[in-house]
A and B are shown apart, each in its own frame.
Chain A
Amino acid sequence: MLDHDTLTRLLERALRYGGDYADVFCERRRMYGFRLQDGHIHDGATSVTQGVGIRVVTGESAGYAYSDDLSLDALLRAAEAASLIARNAPARAFGSIDLRREDVPPLYDQSRADHAPAARYVDLLERADRTARGYDSRIVAVNANVSDELQDVWIATSDGRFVHDHRPMVTLGVHAVASARGERGSGYAGDGGRTSISYFDDHRPEALAADAARIAATNLDAEAAPAGEMEIVVGSGGGGVLLHEAVGHGLESDFNRRGTSLYSGRVGERVASELVTIYDDGNLPEERGSITVDDEGVPGQHKVLVERGVLRGYMQDSLNARLMGVAPTGSGRRQSYRFLPQPRMCNTYMPAGESTPEEIIASTTRGLYAKSFAGGQVEISKGDFVFMVAEGYLIENGKVTAPVKNATIVGNGPDAMTKVVAVGNDARLARRHYTCGKGGQNVPVGVGMPTVKIASITVGGTADDQQ
């Protein structure tokens, strides 16, 4: 997007007062999509957003400015605005910056230059709509959307690194509402990844739509969720939201460098049951949370966060890694050129254990089977989290029984991880498209998990039969 001379000039201008480090983040993002509503293609959307963000780091301080005006004047003004952070920093002479292109083996197709013909996208939505409506006569509304995004980033740093990444992302989502006797139930299913629309040749929209309709019909018939403490069995795949909230955020390096996380200073300590191992991996081919390089130009990595219950390390962006005296882990991510990077998760998952899912269910006397989650949230300093069950069932005397709707689960990260009493042999990544929000920035992530049982956790429903 910008040539080497311009990038070098911007870096030099950004460091005119000094500073430890500077980088220029150039981004062009092209989004193309359609929405379906009421059985018809409702609208289409095209967007092109591009701009440049310039950062100067001195000590633990960062100056930042962006511009979506790519004229040299505007970019130099942004570099100057970013430079001001170092105005009172100790002077430090920078040698000339010699940018060298680095090529990192890509994790996804780098060649696709454009979206597919419109008819391909429309076809997916119409097939999803037909299937969802045909699934059950009580399905009264179907909304679906498809989007195809191509994000190009070019990152130049004062260390002389220059990298480019071309990141595709397709997403298909189906929302179904079932209604009968004045009651309603809704269901959602979504899929996608860093690939092309051809992904849905094998991962057919019919399967996704049937899943959304099935969940809607199940929730229509569901009882109110119970209230109080009980055993919980978390389903494989989407259950990984639990890891993301209960542990993952607390291991991001900004919180730990600042000492605001309950996991601060605890590397090497036992923080979970011996059955618990957690990875964060930016390197899984074509997965939604994968990145060939992060938004600071560092290659994505496989990180061991927790190994057999022991905390092994944090997820590091470059600023916090430098201040903590360790190497960055390819975890510096940002929503767009309008934001400073933050340490973030990629694909967070737990590898398989030894129990079968059937054994785990059979060992549960009274509890909740949380098959999938709609999302969650965590408070970092104490570790309290919630997650919202998208599809849940009661477990009674070792058997999955009645569906329950709208359960929220609340717990405390270290407490819940210590109470993990069984881990299934059915580890898998969720196929749903999750987006993680932190500090006002959204980034795509993946989660995964085998079936896991937690001995006791609080379920927040409304059912009257309280314990």
Chain B
Amino acid sequence: MINNDAIEIAARAVDLALELGARSAEASFSVTQRFHVEARDTTVSKLERSTGSGVHLRLWHDGHRSSVVSTDLQPEALRSAIVRGLDQLQYVAQDPYAGLPDESGAYHGDLALVDPSIAVRDDADKVADALALERAVRAADPRIVNSSGSHYSDASSSIALANSNGFRGMYSTTSASRSTVPLAQEDGAKRTAHYGTAGRFLRDLEGNAHVAAVAAQRAVEMFGARKPPTMRAAVIFERDVAAALLSDIFAAVAASNVAVGNSWLADRIGERVGSKLVTIVDDGALSGRLGSAPFDGEGVATRRTQVFEAGVLRSFLYDTYYARKLGARTTGNSTGGGIGANNFYLEPGSGSLAELIAATSRGVLVLDTIGFATEHATGTYSRGARGFMIENGELAYPIDEFTVAGNFPDVLAAVDAVASDLRFDGSTVSPSFRVAEMTISGN
């Protein structure tokens, strides 16, 4: 896809919407080439290579709005979808905040979002990469006797956006990842673990040997796990689990939730909510990161927004609509119909996870969680978990089949140590951190 073609497709869709009666319109067009290989034992168990594209339109007329998605780019198909969307729009309530952004634009620097070596990488290399990871993880420990596969995948995308105020923008991105899911067996018991790495550049990926070693370690170290006692104790969230907590915090600062009463942080701007260690940033203009882009889903330049500063809630994250509704300014977090994270992260502290563990006399290290129910309206958090009991600064024994629970206001206020191990392997990321006290439910 030549870049100008992508912009042209988006611009033509906008023109078509105006011609059919929309007062204003916005269209994004994206095309993505995806590659995925899964190796299991000595065979290539999955090989996928595809190109997908689609157009997403937003239509407005006198404060009424609707949206249209189509993967069918034939003019007559697009026309009939838009007609349908314009008909729907008449049933939508008039809303003074609906409409195109006032401040379209794009970040001007080079964000380094494309690794040219991904597009030219030979399929055979990628296949060999996944097979090598699978070999490495099976060789890492004699108890690794099986796996759910080792993966390499990459993608190259072009995203174009046009609107009826004259905005035209286009950017390209690449990404790549590798991961493995070994299964360990001991005395008839089975344990799996997952570990992976992702980035915009191949050189950002952790190597196969490291990925295999971490995954294997996480599978075998859980043998002999028991339920911990029910107690209140310090909890250390390892960075991947910590990132999932950051996703919950993101949901509570997304203006779309704040505006409808579905956030425990509503009405608390300027208040001290977290401990001094809680500094959380959303930054769409970080060089080379997975959450970076020159403009957001409605053509607003991305930027850095301080969400929490030393525990004080400074800002929610907005798109144009919710910014108007809540009397604020957009922070460049539109996904084109919703609000999404750019690079949303907790500022790292100092010291390694190992040092954090060593500084904990009694507590729980959480390495994995299952479940997903966080009540954003109330900030209540509860997950099934597995990890280690910490006694006198050492990992005493593995534990599983327990829950870790708390209320976000209490949890953030009790963050008393943050490690330095932040890695940008997604758009919502976190270093490991410790909460002074949470509820552990076990025996």
Contact = CB atoms under 8 A, between A and B. Distances in A.
The SS class assigned to the A binding surface is strand
Contacts of B406: 462
Size class of the contact patch on chain A: 35 or more
Given A340-B48, A406-B373, A410-B402, A46 B68 contact: yes
Q: Which of A63, A183, A388, A459 has the most CB of B within 10 A?
A: A388
Contacts of B68: 45-47
Contact of A258 (B90, B146, B384, B442): B146
B442 to A, nearest CB: 6
A74 to B, nearest CB: 8
B403 interface: yes
A112 B386 CA distance: 49
B146 A462 contact: no
B262 interface: yes
Interface in B423-443: 439-443
A221 B440 CA distance: 24
A43 B371 contact: no
B261 A458 contact: no
Contacts of B91: 34, 41, 44, 118-119, 121-122
B87 interface: yes
Interface in A360-404: 374-382, 384-388
Contact of A143 (B44, B46, B89, B260): B260
Contacts of A85: 44, 47
A143 B77 CA distance: 31
Q: Which of A379, A405, A410 has the most CB of B within 10 A?
A: A410
B54 interface: yes
Contacts of A466: 230-232
Interface string B382-421: 1110100000000000001111111100000000000000
B437 to A, nearest CB: 11
B66 A184 contact: no
Contact of B69 (A38, A46, A60): A46
Interface string A49-64: 1110000000111111
A338 B50 CA distance: 8
A345 B172 CA distance: 38
A44 B67 contact: yes
B247 interface: no
A458 B441 contact: yes
B401 A44 contact: no
Nearest to A384: B401
Interface in A25-81: 32, 34, 37-38, 40-51, 59-69, 78, 81
B382 A460 contact: yes
B403 A460 contact: yes
Contact of B371 (A61, A118, A386, A467): A386
A267 interface: no
Contact of A45 (B66, B386, B441): B66
B192 interface: yes
B92 A41 contact: yes
A38 B146 CA distance: 52
17 contacts: A32-B84, A34-B88, A44-B65, A51-B71, A59-B43, A63-B48, A81-B49, A118-B90, A122-B91, A185-B378, A228-B230, A229-B230, A258-B148, A388-B372, A410-B401, A460-B384, A466-B232
Interface of A: 32, 34, 37-38, 40-51, 59-69, 78, 81, 84-85, 118-119, 121-122, 140-141, 143, 175, 177, 179, 183-186, 225, 227-229, 255, 258-260, 262, 338, 340, 374-382, 384-388, 405-408, 410-412, 458-462, 466-467
Interface of B: 40, 43-54, 65-72, 77, 81, 84-85, 87-93, 95, 123, 146-148, 183, 189-192, 227, 230-232, 260-262, 264, 370-373, 375, 377-378, 380, 382-384, 386, 400-407, 439-443
A-B residue pairs, 3 tightest by C-beta: A460-B403, A44-B88, A388-B373
